[in-house]
Amino acid sequence: MYPLYGMNTKLTLRMDETVVRKAKGEARRRGKSVSQMVSEFFDSLGPRDHRPPMLPPLTRSLVGVLKGHKVSEEDYIAHLRKKHQ
């Protein structure tokens, strides 16, 4: 989704049709619009501010789930070995 900065404004870009086809294909593969990808790219330029990073919904839902739990790398490796036996 677009960052919430205010009103969206139309921007017209001119580029080679091959590049446009590639951009549309990549946007479809990522489940985004070309406008979203361009907006995210431009937003990544310049100085960083203190906004939280834009995370996909699934990742965002997992942030902090292990807070207060002590999980070591060895525990994780043991879990993976058991899971993939």
**Tokens 């590049």 appear where?**
19
The reported pTM is: 0.49
Residue 57 has pLDDT above 70, yes or no: yes
Question: d(Cα 18, Cα 48) in Å, to the nearest integer?
Answer: 32
Question: d(Cα 72, Cα 63) in Å, to the nearest integer?
Answer: 18
Joined tokens for residue 45: 């330029």
Residue 54 has pLDDT above 90, yes or no: no
pLDDT in tens, 1-12: 555 566 788 999
Q: Where are the domains of the chain?
A: 17-83
pLDDT in tens, 60-74: 898 888 888 888 999
Question: d(Cα 79, Cα 60) in Å, to the nearest integer?
Answer: 23
Q: Find out whether 51 and 3 touch, Cβ atoms under 8 Å.
A: yes
